[in-house]
Chains A and B, each alone.
Chain A
Amino acid sequence: MKPRSLDEALEVLERHGEGARVLAGGQSLIPSLNMRLSSPELLVDISSIGSLKGITLDQDVVRIGALVTHAELERSAEIARHVPLLAEAVRHVAHPAIRNRGTLGGSLALADPAAEYPACALALEATIFISGKRGERGVKAAHFFKGLFETDLKPGEIVTAVEVPAQLDGERSVFLELARRQGDYAIVGLAAFRGAETRFAFFNVGPKPVLAKNAALKKSLAEAKEALKADLLVTGDLYTDAATKQHLAGVLLERAWNKLSTSH
């Protein structure tokens, strides 16, 4: 099913209930279908809904449509200039052929713990816009990500756009990720922002991205690294145990700290 408008898509989702799945770029949903991890009765292909596309800058807020692909983010002059954290992050997202199809909205809606954008959204205090039959609502990233592949999205709702504050003069951001090979899922990653306040959003250290709130308040790197131990309740995965991840998170914190502290 390929609706032409958001209203039509929401209508279809309501009519078919839980049996329907939203298909955007399909770079995560189609593998899960291929592996028979998911078997929806109906795919709702939202890719021709024009209102979910495009990047606009309006008074220091950058609005990015949910259907904007990784490749579009990578090429965008607006993103490079006003949201450099995302411009850095996108280079770690999979590989070129996947970046040509996968979307920002899809990545946020899936909430893979190893994904880059949820951590960026948290570090940038992004607002995620969601539409349903009962209208549109905006949710702060901190309230959107609930757990492992779990978000605030209710059945029948679609992520439509994301708004992030444009990075101002004097503000800094840095994105770091450790992976076995270019484009692999992160072992551990960090999206860091320093403006009026500092935010360190770590990902793939647990079921969802986490802000290291105490580390961000410290004046020295040594204190921050110490505080990080209590900030993160690191869980290990199939490949990397918790102690290794905790150590690597400290390594990333140190690298980010040094980058944020030196002038460009």
Chain B
Amino acid sequence: MEQALDITLTVNGVEVSRRVAARTHLVDFLREELDLTGTHAGCEQGVCGACTVRVNGDIVRGCLMLAVQADGCRVDTVEGLSDSKELAALQQAFHEKNALQCGFCTPGMLMAAQDLIKQKRPFTREQIRAHLSGNYCRCTGYQAIVDAIEEVLDGQG
């Protein structure tokens, strides 16, 4: 497991090549090697969802994937989706609805929520909750988060 491997991947639209230890997790690679610290490492066992990122368009746990497994993949983080304005409506709604307090879970929440919003169809509150069931928030009690997501979904008409 001490072996190092060369990987090349596209992170937020930019191609990066690095030599990484086989044991390095994707989330640690993003945070420590690329200084993309928006993605948070929480429980490191796949439960809390703070490390949610997109790999080839699908949301995944950054702590349950090794960086070497992302070789050749397209990875998008909360920084990339913020810069591209894809998250703008959701971020505005989170702000207005008080959908965060400490903010630790927020990047993961935004990534998971945007996964619903980009499907461009309506979802019930129950479906929103089911989709966010893998993202823990210890501050808000979730109501405001679901409110914010619902508002963005409604705004899409």
- A residues with a Cβ closer than 8 A to B are 2, 23, 26-27, 30-31, 33-35, 39-43, 45, 47, 71, 94-98, 100-101, 181-183
- B residues with a Cβ closer than 8 A to A are 1, 22-23, 25, 44-46, 49, 52, 55, 58-61, 63-66, 68-69, 112, 115, 129-131, 133-135
19 examples of A-B residue contacts, CB within 8 angstroms: A2-B68, A30-B46, A30-B64, A30-B66, A34-B25, A34-B45, A39-B1, A40-B1, A41-B1, A45-B69, A47-B69, A95-B133, A95-B134, A95-B135, A96-B115, A96-B131, A97-B59, A98-B64, A101-B64
B65 & A97 in contact (Cβ 8 Å cutoff): no
Known: A96-B115, A97-B112, A182-B133. 19 other contacts (CB 8 A): A23-B69, A27-B64, A30-B25, A30-B46, A34-B45, A34-B63, A35-B45, A39-B1, A42-B1, A43-B66, A45-B68, A45-B69, A97-B49, A97-B59, A98-B46, A98-B60, A98-B64, A101-B61, A183-B133
A26 & B45 in contact (Cβ 8 Å cutoff): no
A7 to B65, CA, bound (A): 25
Chain B residues within 8 Å of A97, by CB:
49, 52, 59-61, 112, 134
A97 to B68, CA, bound (A): 18
A55 to B45, CA, bound (A): 29
B130 & A182 in contact (Cβ 8 Å cutoff): yes
Chain B residues within 8 Å of A94, by CB:
46, 134
A43 to B5, CA, bound (A): 13
- B44 smallest CB distance to A (angstroms): 5
Which residue of chain A has the shortest Cβ distance to B56 in the bound complex? A100
- A51 smallest CB distance to B (angstroms): 19
Chain A residues within 8 Å of B131, by CB:
96
Chain B residues within 8 Å of A40, by CB:
1
A35 to B59, CA, bound (A): 23
A10 to B94, CA, bound (A): 50
Chain B residues within 8 Å of A35, by CB:
45
- Most-contacted residue by chain B among A26, A31, A33, A97 (CB, 10 A): A97
A71 to B134, CA, bound (A): 15
Chain A residues within 8 Å of B45, by CB:
31, 34-35
A71 & B58 in contact (Cβ 8 Å cutoff): yes
A31 to B61, CA, bound (A): 11
Chain B residues within 8 Å of A30, by CB:
25, 46, 63-66
A95 & B65 in contact (Cβ 8 Å cutoff): no
A31 & B133 in contact (Cβ 8 Å cutoff): no
A33 to B45, CA, bound (A): 9
A27 & B46 in contact (Cβ 8 Å cutoff): yes
Chain B residues within 8 Å of A101, by CB:
60-61, 64-65
Chain A residues within 8 Å of B49, by CB:
95, 97
A31 with B1, Cβ < 8 A, contacts A71-B58, A181-B133, A182-B130 known: no
Chain A residues within 8 Å of B25, by CB:
30, 34
A98 with B133, Cβ < 8 A, contacts A34-B45, A43-B1 known: no
